[in-house]
Amino acid sequence: MQRSNVATFMDLFTLLRTQFAAQPKAKELGLKTKDFSFNTVGGRCEQCEGLGQVDVNLSFLSDMKVTCPSCKGQRFQDHVLSVQFKEHSIADFLNLSVEQSITFFETKSKMNTLLQLLIDVGLGYLNWGQALTTLSGGEGQRLKLAKELSQAKKGHTLYLLDEPTSGLHMTDIKHLHTLLSKLVDANNTVVVVEHHTMMIESSDWVVDLGPSGGDQGGELIATGKPEEIAKHPDSITGQFLFQ
Ligand SMILES: [Zn+2]
């Protein structure tokens, strides 16, 4: 998991490595696509095996990670780092955010489309090299959603999401809703556990559980279209809809 990051998960990194290998400097140095990987032997730094960090053994304490003294955290060998694309080395790309890098790639290109999907699910602020282990639950869900949307639509799939809007701004919630609607339009079913009124208002069917949260919840209060929930005498959620 330490080696999985946003770029590898979204298959952006493979595309980027191909891009780097195609640069004149890479050809001059005889570097191939695989040399721009930090997972395989070739262009990566071997002292840290491409992780940018090494373990330091402190006998009575738990092991500590420090920046690799050989590559200074850059994860690659110097000649690999000397190859640039849009004035950035492969290591620089891992430190760029999705938003910062999208203009480097032509509109409608595969790369641009993937980056735009990440922005659409409200993850444009993430760095390419951000390890998946550091993402919050909500971020992880939205990342998986972006990946799902990037692949050929199969249809007839059930998507179950637990509070996907948590931590998102209003504009991002609107984007997320648009994407979820696309899944529904493509013959899939989306079930969202959600408190956000905008998400509830724009769904096709609501199952209102209550009357309160935790131990005081779990009872079926009302079911129906959002408009019907809003008028239901027993629904507390309903009182907050369409305000
Ligand atoms: Zn190193």
The domains located in the chain, with CATH, are 6-133 (1.20.1580.10), 140-240 (3.40.50.300)
pTM of full prediction above 0.85: no
Output the CA 78–ligand 1 centroid distance in Å: 10
Output the CA 122–ligand 1 centroid distance in Å: 32
| Residue 89, pLDDT score | 98
Q: How confident is the model at residue 149 (pLDDT cuts 50, 70, 90)?
A: confident
What digits encode the pLDDT tens for the residues 219-238? Answer: 999 999 999 999 999 999 99
Of 23, 68, 64, the C-alpha closest to 48 is 68
Output the CA 218–ligand 1 centroid distance in Å: 52
The span from the CA of 100 to the CA of 125, in Å, is 8
Output the CA 77–ligand 1 centroid distance in Å: 8
Q: Quick one: CA torsion of 150, 124, 136, 175, rounded to 10 degrees?
A: -70
**What average pLDDT does the chain have?**
92
What digits encode the pLDDT tens for the residues 181-203? Answer: 988 988 999 999 999 999 999 99
Residue with tokens 């209003």: 170
pLDDT at 152 exceeding the cut of 70? no
Output the CA 44–ligand 1 centroid distance in Å: 8
Output the CA 42–ligand 1 centroid distance in Å: 13
Output the CA 47–ligand 1 centroid distance in Å: 5
* 26's tokens: 């890479």
